[in-house]
Amino acid sequence: MRSEARPWVLAGTLCALILAVDQVAKAVIEDKLVPGEYIEVFGPLEFTLSHNRGVAFGLAGGAGIGLVLLTVAALGLIAYLFARDPGRPGMWVASGLVAGGALGNLADRAFAGEVTDFIAVGSWPPFNLADVAITCGVVLLAWIYVRDAESESESG
């Protein structure tokens, strides 16, 4: 494999893996739980079944096509940032996480009109694996840019 293609293959593979695991987990939860039911997992971690029409953690509920367009715009931004420098250390991980999570929730919206959430921790609103991937990817992306900015200021 050519070295230029490697980050694209890695990001695409991670994206597909996140999408698949997210969709399988949601299907299992949909099959095994009824809305409002809680199952203790470990400590404050519980599984539940809930649905939302908003963004992560139920924010902006009922935004419909606006959220689909926002998701498509976010995917475009991630693709643009990744394409600018796919070889940047960690960039394939951040891009794969965000893209996989965004596509997981987009698939829910496209096929069910709402997103399935199932992870409950304390009083935090329920969320799903796609939300976790997006959050981790965005945090990693921010860290990459801060790290690189600090490196440039130290060398410049």
Q: Where in the sequence numbering do the catalytic residues fall?
A: 117, 131
And the tokens for 18?
């996140």
| Distance, CA of 77 to chain centre | 14
In the chain, DSSP assigns E strands to 38-42, 45-52, 115-121, 124-127
Helices (H) and strands (E) in the chain, counts: 4, 4
Coil, helix or strand at residue 57: helix
